[in-house]
Amino acid sequence: MQFQFADRVARAPKSFLEELFKVSSDPSIISFAGGLPSAELIDTVGIARAAREIFEEDPKVALQYTTTDGFLPLREYIADRYRHRLGIPATAEEIQIVNGSQQCLDLFAKLFLNRGDHVGMERPGYLGAIEAFSLYEPVIDTVPLEEDGPDLDAFTQMVKKERPKFFYGIPNSQNPSGRTYSQEKRKAIAEVLSGTSPVFYEDDAFGELFFDARPRLPVKKYLPEQAVISGSFSKTVAPGMRIGWMFAPSGILQQFNVVKQAADLHSNFLCQKILHRYLTTSDPDAHIKTIVSAYSRKCRLMCELFDDLMPEIIHTNPEGGMFLMATLPPGLSSREVFDEGVRKKVAVLPGLPFYVDGGGTDTIRLNFSSASEEQIHEGMHRLAQGIAALRRN
Protein backbone atom coordinates (compact mmCIF):
# COMPACT_ATOMS: atom_id res chain seq x y z
CA MET A 1 0.00 0.00 0.00
CA GLN A 2 1.42 3.38 -1.05
CA PHE A 3 0.13 6.10 1.27
CA GLN A 4 -0.16 9.62 -0.10
CA PHE A 5 1.41 11.62 2.72
CA ALA A 6 1.74 15.40 2.59
CA ASP A 7 4.94 16.64 0.94
CA ARG A 8 5.97 18.49 4.10
CA VAL A 9 6.36 15.18 5.95
CA ALA A 10 8.96 13.99 3.45
CA ARG A 11 10.79 17.32 3.71
CA ALA A 12 10.94 17.27 7.52
CA PRO A 13 14.44 16.59 8.94
CA LYS A 14 15.16 13.04 10.02
CA SER A 15 14.86 12.69 13.79
CA PHE A 16 17.59 11.17 15.92
CA LEU A 17 15.05 10.44 18.66
CA GLU A 18 14.04 6.98 17.42
CA GLU A 19 17.63 5.79 17.71
CA LEU A 20 17.90 7.45 21.09
CA PHE A 21 14.78 5.72 22.39
CA LYS A 22 16.20 2.32 21.41
CA VAL A 23 19.33 3.04 23.41
CA SER A 24 17.39 4.39 26.39
CA SER A 25 15.28 1.22 26.58
CA ASP A 26 18.37 -0.81 27.54
CA PRO A 27 18.45 -0.82 31.37
CA SER A 28 22.19 -1.60 31.41
CA ILE A 29 22.98 1.75 29.73
CA ILE A 30 23.44 4.85 31.87
CA SER A 31 21.76 7.54 29.80
CA PHE A 32 22.74 11.20 29.81
CA ALA A 33 21.13 11.51 26.37
CA GLY A 34 17.48 12.12 27.22
CA GLY A 35 15.76 15.13 28.67
CA LEU A 36 13.89 13.71 31.64
CA PRO A 37 13.50 15.39 35.00
CA SER A 38 14.24 13.18 38.00
CA ALA A 39 11.47 10.65 38.57
CA GLU A 40 12.62 10.34 42.17
CA LEU A 41 11.70 13.96 42.83
CA ILE A 42 8.09 13.80 41.63
CA ASP A 43 5.78 14.32 44.60
CA THR A 44 3.63 11.26 43.95
CA VAL A 45 2.11 11.36 47.44
CA GLY A 46 0.99 14.98 47.13
CA ILE A 47 -0.36 14.53 43.60
CA ALA A 48 -2.25 11.37 44.62
CA ARG A 49 -3.82 13.23 47.53
CA ALA A 50 -4.92 16.06 45.25
CA ALA A 51 -6.41 13.52 42.81
CA ARG A 52 -8.38 11.81 45.58
CA GLU A 53 -9.79 15.13 46.73
CA ILE A 54 -10.93 16.03 43.21
CA PHE A 55 -12.66 12.68 42.76
CA GLU A 56 -14.29 12.93 46.17
CA GLU A 57 -15.65 16.43 45.56
CA ASP A 58 -16.71 16.86 41.91
CA PRO A 59 -15.64 13.92 39.70
CA LYS A 60 -18.39 14.44 37.13
CA VAL A 61 -17.28 18.03 36.50
CA ALA A 62 -13.62 17.05 36.33
CA LEU A 63 -14.35 14.34 33.76
CA GLN A 64 -16.44 16.58 31.47
CA TYR A 65 -15.45 18.81 28.55
CA THR A 66 -14.26 22.33 29.39
CA THR A 67 -13.32 25.56 27.64
CA THR A 68 -10.41 25.77 25.21
CA ASP A 69 -8.50 28.40 27.18
CA GLY A 70 -8.29 26.16 30.24
CA PHE A 71 -9.32 25.98 33.91
CA LEU A 72 -9.71 29.59 35.06
CA PRO A 73 -8.36 29.10 38.62
CA LEU A 74 -5.20 27.48 37.20
CA ARG A 75 -4.75 30.36 34.75
CA GLU A 76 -5.20 32.81 37.64
CA TYR A 77 -2.57 30.91 39.64
CA ILE A 78 -0.07 31.18 36.75
CA ALA A 79 -0.77 34.89 36.23
CA ASP A 80 -0.41 35.56 39.96
CA ARG A 81 2.96 33.79 39.98
CA TYR A 82 4.21 36.04 37.17
CA ARG A 83 3.13 39.10 39.13
CA HIS A 84 4.69 38.06 42.42
CA ARG A 85 7.79 36.16 41.29
CA LEU A 86 8.86 38.37 38.37
CA GLY A 87 6.92 41.60 38.87
CA ILE A 88 5.30 41.31 35.44
CA PRO A 89 1.70 42.46 34.92
CA ALA A 90 -0.27 39.35 33.94
CA THR A 91 -3.93 38.37 33.94
CA ALA A 92 -5.70 35.05 33.48
CA GLU A 93 -7.03 36.35 30.15
CA GLU A 94 -3.42 36.38 28.85
CA ILE A 95 -2.84 32.72 29.77
CA GLN A 96 -3.78 29.74 27.56
CA ILE A 97 -3.42 26.19 28.92
CA VAL A 98 -1.79 23.71 26.51
CA ASN A 99 -0.62 20.09 26.43
CA GLY A 100 2.89 20.83 27.63
CA SER A 101 4.96 23.64 26.18
CA GLN A 102 5.81 21.41 23.20
CA GLN A 103 2.27 21.97 21.93
CA CYS A 104 2.93 25.71 22.06
CA LEU A 105 5.71 25.25 19.50
CA ASP A 106 3.44 23.44 17.08
CA LEU A 107 0.43 25.74 17.46
CA PHE A 108 2.50 28.91 17.35
CA ALA A 109 4.21 27.79 14.15
CA LYS A 110 0.86 26.80 12.67
CA LEU A 111 -0.51 30.23 13.55
CA PHE A 112 2.39 32.29 12.15
CA LEU A 113 4.22 30.39 9.44
CA ASN A 114 3.52 30.00 5.76
CA ARG A 115 5.84 27.92 3.64
CA GLY A 116 8.99 29.91 2.95
CA ASP A 117 8.55 32.36 5.83
CA HIS A 118 11.60 33.13 7.92
CA VAL A 119 11.92 32.22 11.58
CA GLY A 120 14.97 32.92 13.75
CA MET A 121 16.46 30.80 16.49
CA GLU A 122 19.65 30.17 18.44
CA ARG A 123 22.56 28.11 17.19
CA PRO A 124 22.63 25.49 18.63
CA GLY A 125 18.88 25.35 19.03
CA TYR A 126 16.34 23.19 20.81
CA LEU A 127 15.67 19.98 18.85
CA GLY A 128 11.95 19.94 19.70
CA ALA A 129 11.50 23.42 18.24
CA ILE A 130 13.45 22.57 15.09
CA GLU A 131 11.22 19.55 14.49
CA ALA A 132 7.98 21.40 15.28
CA PHE A 133 8.77 24.39 13.07
CA SER A 134 10.15 22.34 10.18
CA LEU A 135 6.79 20.72 9.47
CA TYR A 136 5.50 24.15 8.38
CA GLU A 137 8.42 24.50 5.93
CA PRO A 138 9.93 27.84 6.96
CA VAL A 139 13.43 29.09 6.32
CA ILE A 140 15.17 28.84 9.70
CA ASP A 141 17.81 31.53 10.26
CA THR A 142 20.22 30.87 13.11
CA VAL A 143 22.14 33.25 15.35
CA PRO A 144 25.29 32.04 17.17
CA LEU A 145 24.79 31.63 20.90
CA GLU A 146 27.54 33.17 23.01
CA GLU A 147 28.17 32.62 26.72
CA ASP A 148 25.72 35.38 27.66
CA GLY A 149 23.14 35.01 24.89
CA PRO A 150 22.80 35.51 21.13
CA ASP A 151 25.48 37.36 19.17
CA LEU A 152 23.87 40.81 19.07
CA ASP A 153 25.42 41.89 15.77
CA ALA A 154 24.27 38.70 14.05
CA PHE A 155 20.85 39.01 15.70
CA THR A 156 20.44 42.60 14.53
CA GLN A 157 21.48 41.77 10.97
CA MET A 158 19.16 38.76 10.85
CA VAL A 159 16.17 40.85 11.99
CA LYS A 160 16.91 43.61 9.46
CA LYS A 161 17.73 41.36 6.51
CA GLU A 162 15.39 38.38 6.89
CA ARG A 163 12.46 39.98 8.75
CA PRO A 164 11.45 36.74 10.47
CA LYS A 165 7.91 36.17 11.66
CA PHE A 166 9.34 35.44 15.09
CA PHE A 167 12.57 34.62 16.92
CA TYR A 168 12.54 31.58 19.19
CA GLY A 169 14.91 31.52 22.16
CA ILE A 170 15.47 29.93 25.56
CA PRO A 171 17.02 32.68 27.72
CA ASN A 172 17.09 30.60 30.91
CA SER A 173 19.41 27.54 31.01
CA GLN A 174 19.14 26.98 27.27
CA ASN A 175 18.61 23.53 25.83
CA PRO A 176 21.03 22.14 24.63
CA SER A 177 23.87 24.38 25.84
CA GLY A 178 22.82 25.20 29.42
CA ARG A 179 23.74 28.86 28.83
CA THR A 180 21.74 31.77 30.26
CA TYR A 181 21.25 35.19 28.68
CA SER A 182 22.63 38.11 30.66
CA GLN A 183 20.16 40.79 31.70
CA GLU A 184 21.98 43.22 29.41
CA LYS A 185 21.47 40.93 26.41
CA ARG A 186 17.76 40.61 27.20
CA LYS A 187 17.37 44.40 27.22
CA ALA A 188 19.41 44.74 24.02
CA ILE A 189 17.29 42.11 22.22
CA ALA A 190 14.15 44.01 23.20
CA GLU A 191 15.66 47.24 21.88
CA VAL A 192 16.53 45.63 18.54
CA LEU A 193 13.01 44.24 18.12
CA SER A 194 11.16 47.31 19.33
CA GLY A 195 9.43 49.00 16.41
CA THR A 196 9.87 45.97 14.11
CA SER A 197 7.42 43.19 13.29
CA PRO A 198 9.04 39.97 14.65
CA VAL A 199 7.67 38.48 17.85
CA PHE A 200 10.09 37.19 20.47
CA TYR A 201 9.07 33.66 21.51
CA GLU A 202 10.53 33.03 24.96
CA ASP A 203 10.58 29.35 25.94
CA ASP A 204 10.86 29.36 29.71
CA ALA A 205 10.88 25.67 30.59
CA PHE A 206 13.71 26.09 33.12
CA GLY A 207 13.15 29.53 34.62
CA GLU A 208 12.39 28.18 38.11
CA LEU A 209 15.42 25.88 38.17
CA PHE A 210 18.26 28.35 38.79
CA PHE A 211 20.74 26.99 41.30
CA ASP A 212 20.97 30.34 43.10
CA ALA A 213 17.13 30.60 43.25
CA ARG A 214 17.37 34.12 41.80
CA PRO A 215 14.71 34.90 39.15
CA ARG A 216 15.92 36.38 35.85
CA LEU A 217 13.66 38.97 34.24
CA PRO A 218 12.37 37.80 30.86
CA VAL A 219 12.66 39.63 27.55
CA LYS A 220 8.90 40.15 27.78
CA LYS A 221 9.52 42.50 30.71
CA TYR A 222 11.11 44.93 28.24
CA LEU A 223 8.90 44.07 25.25
CA PRO A 224 5.45 43.38 26.73
CA GLU A 225 3.32 43.67 23.59
CA GLN A 226 5.75 41.93 21.24
CA ALA A 227 6.88 38.91 23.24
CA VAL A 228 5.26 35.68 24.35
CA ILE A 229 6.35 33.19 27.00
CA SER A 230 5.64 29.48 27.08
CA GLY A 231 5.92 27.68 30.38
CA SER A 232 5.43 24.20 31.75
CA PHE A 233 4.80 22.24 34.92
CA SER A 234 6.70 19.29 33.45
CA LYS A 235 10.01 20.24 35.09
CA THR A 236 8.63 21.33 38.48
CA VAL A 237 5.66 18.99 39.08
CA ALA A 238 5.29 16.06 36.65
CA PRO A 239 5.85 15.74 32.89
CA GLY A 240 3.21 13.02 32.49
CA MET A 241 0.43 15.48 33.32
CA ARG A 242 1.28 17.36 30.09
CA ILE A 243 0.20 20.77 31.37
CA GLY A 244 1.88 23.90 30.07
CA TRP A 245 0.78 27.38 29.05
CA MET A 246 1.23 30.28 26.67
CA PHE A 247 1.42 33.82 28.10
CA ALA A 248 0.78 36.25 25.27
CA PRO A 249 -0.83 39.58 24.32
CA SER A 250 -4.57 39.31 23.66
CA GLY A 251 -4.12 39.96 19.93
CA ILE A 252 -2.06 36.78 19.64
CA LEU A 253 -3.91 34.69 22.20
CA GLN A 254 -7.32 35.13 20.57
CA GLN A 255 -6.07 33.56 17.34
CA PHE A 256 -3.93 31.03 19.21
CA ASN A 257 -7.11 29.88 20.97
CA VAL A 258 -8.78 29.26 17.59
CA VAL A 259 -5.86 27.09 16.46
CA LYS A 260 -5.84 25.25 19.78
CA GLN A 261 -9.56 24.53 19.58
CA ALA A 262 -9.19 23.04 16.12
CA ALA A 263 -6.33 20.83 17.35
CA ASP A 264 -7.89 19.20 20.43
CA LEU A 265 -10.79 21.30 21.83
CA HIS A 266 -8.95 21.65 25.17
CA SER A 267 -6.16 20.18 27.27
CA ASN A 268 -6.77 17.43 29.83
CA PHE A 269 -9.29 18.97 32.23
CA LEU A 270 -8.90 16.32 34.92
CA CYS A 271 -5.15 16.95 35.11
CA GLN A 272 -5.73 20.70 35.19
CA LYS A 273 -7.99 20.38 38.23
CA ILE A 274 -5.68 17.93 40.01
CA LEU A 275 -2.69 20.17 39.30
CA HIS A 276 -4.46 23.27 40.60
CA ARG A 277 -5.50 21.46 43.77
CA TYR A 278 -1.95 20.23 44.27
CA LEU A 279 -0.40 23.67 43.75
CA THR A 280 -2.81 25.43 46.11
CA THR A 281 -2.78 22.86 48.94
CA SER A 282 0.93 21.98 49.02
CA ASP A 283 4.14 24.03 49.12
CA PRO A 284 5.40 24.15 45.51
CA ASP A 285 8.22 26.54 46.37
CA ALA A 286 9.64 24.12 48.93
CA HIS A 287 9.37 21.30 46.39
CA ILE A 288 11.14 23.36 43.72
CA LYS A 289 13.86 24.17 46.24
CA THR A 290 14.42 20.42 46.74
CA ILE A 291 14.62 19.86 42.97
CA VAL A 292 17.05 22.74 42.46
CA SER A 293 19.30 21.54 45.28
CA ALA A 294 19.52 18.06 43.76
CA TYR A 295 20.14 19.32 40.23
CA SER A 296 22.80 21.72 41.43
CA ARG A 297 24.72 18.88 43.09
CA LYS A 298 24.40 16.68 40.01
CA CYS A 299 25.51 19.42 37.64
CA ARG A 300 28.50 20.29 39.80
CA LEU A 301 29.46 16.61 40.01
CA MET A 302 29.28 16.15 36.24
CA CYS A 303 31.36 19.27 35.61
CA GLU A 304 33.97 18.20 38.17
CA LEU A 305 34.22 14.74 36.60
CA PHE A 306 34.70 16.31 33.17
CA ASP A 307 37.52 18.43 34.56
CA ASP A 308 39.15 15.52 36.41
CA LEU A 309 38.72 12.70 33.88
CA MET A 310 38.60 14.56 30.54
CA PRO A 311 40.38 17.90 31.01
CA GLU A 312 40.86 18.26 27.24
CA ILE A 313 37.09 18.64 26.80
CA ILE A 314 35.55 22.11 27.10
CA HIS A 315 32.08 22.20 28.65
CA THR A 316 29.51 24.81 29.61
CA ASN A 317 28.89 25.60 33.28
CA PRO A 318 25.12 25.95 33.65
CA GLU A 319 23.53 28.28 36.19
CA GLY A 320 20.46 26.04 36.28
CA GLY A 321 18.27 23.75 34.22
CA MET A 322 18.99 20.17 33.22
CA PHE A 323 21.65 20.18 30.47
CA LEU A 324 25.23 21.02 29.64
CA MET A 325 27.11 20.86 26.36
CA ALA A 326 30.68 19.77 25.73
CA THR A 327 33.06 20.40 22.82
CA LEU A 328 35.21 17.43 21.85
CA PRO A 329 38.94 17.70 21.12
CA PRO A 330 40.05 17.80 17.47
CA GLY A 331 39.83 14.47 15.69
CA LEU A 332 36.77 13.18 17.55
CA SER A 333 33.25 13.25 16.18
CA SER A 334 30.10 13.31 18.27
CA ARG A 335 28.71 10.34 16.37
CA GLU A 336 31.81 8.29 17.14
CA VAL A 337 31.53 9.21 20.81
CA PHE A 338 27.86 8.20 20.81
CA ASP A 339 28.58 4.82 19.23
CA GLU A 340 31.57 4.10 21.47
CA GLY A 341 29.60 5.28 24.49
CA VAL A 342 26.83 2.78 23.74
CA ARG A 343 29.45 0.04 23.62
CA LYS A 344 30.68 1.23 27.01
CA LYS A 345 27.05 1.33 28.29
CA VAL A 346 26.75 5.10 28.57
CA ALA A 347 24.71 7.33 26.24
CA VAL A 348 25.19 10.99 25.33
CA LEU A 349 23.38 12.95 22.64
CA PRO A 350 25.43 14.01 19.59
CA GLY A 351 25.19 17.72 18.83
CA LEU A 352 24.19 17.18 15.19
CA PRO A 353 20.37 17.53 15.53
CA PHE A 354 20.70 20.88 17.33
CA TYR A 355 22.31 22.55 14.31
CA VAL A 356 19.64 23.03 11.66
CA ASP A 357 22.14 24.53 9.20
CA GLY A 358 24.88 21.97 9.75
CA GLY A 359 27.39 21.59 12.54
CA GLY A 360 27.52 19.88 15.90
CA THR A 361 29.94 17.21 14.72
CA ASP A 362 32.26 18.08 17.62
CA THR A 363 29.68 18.65 20.38
CA ILE A 364 27.66 16.44 22.72
CA ARG A 365 24.78 17.28 25.05
CA LEU A 366 24.48 15.69 28.48
CA ASN A 367 21.48 15.62 30.82
CA PHE A 368 22.33 15.62 34.53
CA SER A 369 18.84 15.67 36.04
CA SER A 370 17.51 12.14 35.56
CA ALA A 371 20.51 10.02 36.61
CA SER A 372 21.46 9.50 40.24
CA GLU A 373 24.74 10.87 41.57
CA GLU A 374 26.08 7.30 41.63
CA GLN A 375 25.08 6.81 37.99
CA ILE A 376 26.70 10.12 37.02
CA HIS A 377 29.94 9.03 38.67
CA GLU A 378 29.95 5.64 36.94
CA GLY A 379 28.66 6.98 33.62
CA MET A 380 31.30 9.69 33.38
CA HIS A 381 34.03 7.13 34.02
CA ARG A 382 32.60 4.98 31.22
CA LEU A 383 32.49 8.01 28.93
CA ALA A 384 36.10 8.86 29.73
CA GLN A 385 37.13 5.29 28.93
CA GLY A 386 35.28 5.43 25.61
CA ILE A 387 36.85 8.74 24.59
CA ALA A 388 40.31 7.47 25.60
CA ALA A 389 39.78 4.39 23.43
CA LEU A 390 38.79 6.54 20.44
CA ARG A 391 41.83 8.79 20.86
CA ARG A 392 44.13 5.76 20.94
CA ASN A 393 42.67 4.61 17.64
Residues 110 and 216 in one domain: yes
Residues 214 and 176 in one domain: yes
The CATH number for 350's domain is 3.90.1150.10
The predicted structure's pLDDT at residue 79: 98
Q: Which whole number is the average pLDDT over 50-67?
A: 96
Residues 199 and 308 in one domain: no
6: in domain: no
61 residue type, one letter: V
Residues 94 and 160 in one domain: yes
8: in domain: no
71: in domain: yes
9: in domain: no
Residues 320 and 198 in one domain: no
Residues 296 and 316 in one domain: yes
Helix orientation angle between 127-134 and 100-112, rounded to the nearest 10 degrees: 40
The CATH number for 94's domain is 3.40.640.10
pLDDT tops 80 at residue 19: no
The predicted structure's pLDDT at residue 12: 81
140: in domain: yes
pLDDT tops 90 at residue 274: yes
pLDDT tops 80 at residue 16: no
Provide the residue count of the chain. 393
167: in domain: yes
Residues 259 and 349 in one domain: no
> Per-residue pLDDT tens for 210-242?
999 999 999 999 999 999 999 999 999 999 999
347 residue type, one letter: A
Residues 159 and 172 in one domain: yes
Tell me the backbone φ, ψ of residue 122, rounded to 5 degrees.
-75, 160
pLDDT tops 80 at residue 31: yes
The predicted structure's pLDDT at residue 326: 98
Residues 121 and 255 in one domain: yes
User: Regarding predicted confidence, which is higher, 18 or 96?
Assistant: 96
Residues 231 and 323 in one domain: no
pLDDT tops 80 at residue 24: no
How high does pLDDT run on average in the chain?
96
By residue range, what is the domain housing residue 322? 16-43+286-392
> What is the model's pTM?
0.95
Query: Can you tell me the distance from the alpha carbon of 104 to that of 110, in angstroms, rounded to the nearest whole number?
Result: 10
2: in domain: no
The predicted structure's pLDDT at residue 369: 98
> Per-residue pLDDT tens for 136-173?
999 999 999 999 999 999 999 999 999 999 999 999 99
380 residue type, one letter: M
The predicted structure's pLDDT at residue 27: 87
Domain end (from 281, 305, 324) = 281
Residues 259 and 351 in one domain: no
Give the range with max mean pLDDT: 24-38, 108-122, 347-361: 108-122
The predicted structure's pLDDT at residue 23: 73
Query: Can you tell me the distance from the alpha carbon of 138 to that of 109, in angstroms, rounded to the nearest whole number?
Result: 9
Domain count, the chain: 2
The predicted structure's pLDDT at residue 8: 87
Domain end (from 281, 309, 336) = 281
CA dihedral (144, 148, 154, 160) positive or negative = positive
Residues 273 and 326 in one domain: no
Burial of 219 (C-beta count, 10 Å sphere; 0-12/13-18/19+) = buried
